[in-house]
Every structure is written in structure tokens, then in C-alpha cells.
Amino acid sequence: MAHPSLKKTYAKRAETVKHPLSIYLYKLMDLKASNLCLSADVATARELLWIADKVGPSIVVLKTHYDMVSGWDFHPEHGTGARLAALARKHGFLIFEDRKFGDIGNTVELQYTSGSARIIDWAHIANVNMVPGKASVTSLANAAARWLERYPYEVRTSVTVGTPLRDEDTDDEGASGLSPNQTNQKAKDIEGGSNDKASEGRKGSIVSVTTVTQQFESAHSPRFGRGIAEEGEQLFAGVEEPPLERGLLILAQMSSHGNFMNAEYTKACVEAAREHKEFVMGFISQESLNSEDEDDFIHMTPGCQLPPEDDDMAEVKGDGKGQQYNTPQKIIGIAGADIVIVGRGIIKAGDPEHEAERYRSAAWKAYTERVR
């Protein structure tokens, strides 16, 4: 029997799913009438930003491989990741870094949150190859939780130098009129002689006060606080900005010929997802893996290709490098996936914008026919 999620609309699933980013994504899919992800496998940062801007209106997810992009600028405020985030806000899509974390827990935590890329800062979604075991999922979930705890706050530090005062201007306790919350640090430079009786009658000592004040303030919205967003930036209308929570996709099945992801491995992936619903959004898979009543994971499937526009009956073949292709109708309508991932079919097209719209329309049609 088909799982209930296969017949529910994205709008209805947005009302019941628990993960904040899944809620946002389902709403975005319904609003844009799109279930298309672009796999932006290009060679340079300039190409990446160009293609993201061109096809942004047609997609709901942009999939990146930052480590294969020449000229990637790692600056946290105006680098490539930040500029992609600005385009995501402009066109209404989420960024999915296809890093496929696949190492021991401590290593994947550092790869996710540290280093020059700091993937967690600009990518809404990441994914994991669970070959090392469930610990990799747990470690990534813990890293994201710690990042989220720190994110809403930043430390503001100010340094002020007070007007020099004579020591007789201070009160009996030696206070200088500063408020209690400005007493983090005081430095007194005293001129003149000692305070014994021999010094009586001499002019009062000069007291110079330097105050360092630190306070925690709520950080700006991620829409405006991190990245190159500026006043007057174009923002996609219809939905609020994405939530701060990050999401994880588990690589449960692959479209490449001869891969070793067997049924036992896929079963373990589903178990790990159920154990970490607060972080795991769903799967990269070849079919829907929702089986229990409470399951409502998102499924994204690569290997999608349409026949040429002037020959709808042409056979869809592989790329000769192990990649096997299927049409949106098979991926969405029959296998039960939610989002098709398309790369070269759009990127290599003479008119990427037009081709992205062709894929969007075909994938959306397959979805609407499935939920009738």
C-alpha cells in the first residue's frame, strides 16, 4: 500500500512535518510550483553565481560542490558563499552543499563547522555518506545544535576614554561616577608625589579612566546580518526568510551503476533519520523510503534527464561514466521522490533558463498527477 505522504500535497505536508527547514521548503515548493534542484557542477565561481542567478526563479534548491569550484572566495561576509546566500534570498531557493561527509564523528564536525569554507554558515542543507556508521549523523547533529545556540548572539565591545578627573573629584569610596556596568576595567595613571603628609598642599592627582564594556546583543537576521545583503536588496516575496535551523540529507541510495549501497545500508540510513528527526530532513535516494505512519522525509533524486524538446519519444540513456538517467515522470510519479536533481541537462543547454523551466514544468506535472 502506498504511503500517505505520496498523495498529500506539499502544502498539506508543510502543516504536519516537524523540521523547520522542511516546513519552509514545502511552502516554497507550493508557492513557486517547483520541485526542481539544480546541481551546479561548474568549474568557476563566476559560472556558479551566473547560473544561480539565471535559473534561480525556476528552482527551490541549488546544489553545490564548493571544493571543485576554482576561484571560490572564502570571505565570510562578501565571499562566494555569502553571494550565493544573497541570490537565494533574491530568488527563493535553499543552498545544498553536496559535501557527502563520510568520516569519523570528530572529523565531520570540523569539516562542517570549521576550516576555510565554514559550510554551516552559508549552506542550509548538507548531506552525509553513512558508511562510517550512525555516529557521523549524531556528530553532525550535535555540531549544528551548538552552532545554532551561538548564532543568535554576538559580542559587541566598546572602548571609551573618560575625561581626566582630579582625585578630589571622586567620592569617598574612590568611584569616578561610572555606572556599575562600566567597571570591567579601570586604569589609573597618577601624577604627583606620594600621599603622605609631606605631599599635603600639592595639587591633586590626575585620574584618567579607560573603560572597556562588553555586552551580548541579538545578532541581525541571517537575511541581513551575514553576507553581502544591503539596504535595498531584492528579496523573494511570498514566504518569510528561511529558519536558522540547518538540515541534513542522508545518502541512502545512488543512481550510479554498480554502487555498493545495498538494502542493509539503506535500512540503517532510515533508522538514523528517525533517530535524528530534529536535524535529518530526508534522503538522497532513488525512491521514497517513507514506510511508517509518522515518516515524512523529503526525498531528492539525481540522475534526471528529459529527452530532446523536439523528440519526446527519444530514449534517455546514461552518460557513459556510470550515471543512469530517468525522466521526471519516473522519478516523481512512479518512484515517489519529491525533488528531481538536474545538472548537465540544464547547465550544458544553449538556453539554461528555458531548459530549467522545461524541467520544472515536467517535474511539477508529474507531482500534480501523483497527488490527484
Residue ranges at the known binding site for substrate? 41, 63, 255, 323, 343-344
Could you tell me which residues come within 8 angstroms of residue 267 by beta carbon, excluding any fewer than 6 positions away? none
How does strand 210-218 pair with strand 153-161?
Answer: antiparallel
User: Measuring CA to CA, which residue among 319, 279, 284 is closest to residue 129?
Assistant: 284
Exactly one of 53, 54, 103, 186 is catalytic; which is it? 103
Can 171 be counted among the known catalytic residues? no
Which DSSP helix (H) or strand (E) runs through 30? helix 20-32
**Is 98 one of the catalytic residues?**
yes
Q: Confirm if 253 and 127 have CB atoms less than 8 A apart.
A: no
Q: Kindly name the residue from 12, 54, 100, 330 that is annotated as catalytic.
A: 100
103 is catalytic: yes
Catalytic residue from among 30, 32, 98, 121: 98
For residue 95, the surrounding DSSP H or E stretch is: strand 94-101
Alpha-carbon gap, residue 86 to 224, rounded angstroms: 9
Residue type, 103: D
Binding-site residue numbers are 41, 63, 255, 323, 343-344
List the alpha helices (DSSP H) in 220-351.
222-225, 263-275, 328, 344-347
Question: What is the phi/psi pair of residue 347, to 5°?
Answer: -65, -40
Cell triple for residue 237? Answer: 516575496
- The DSSP bridge partners found for residue 284 are 251, 300
- Residue 14 in contact with residue 1, Cβ under 8 Å? no
Just list the catalytic residues: 98, 100, 103
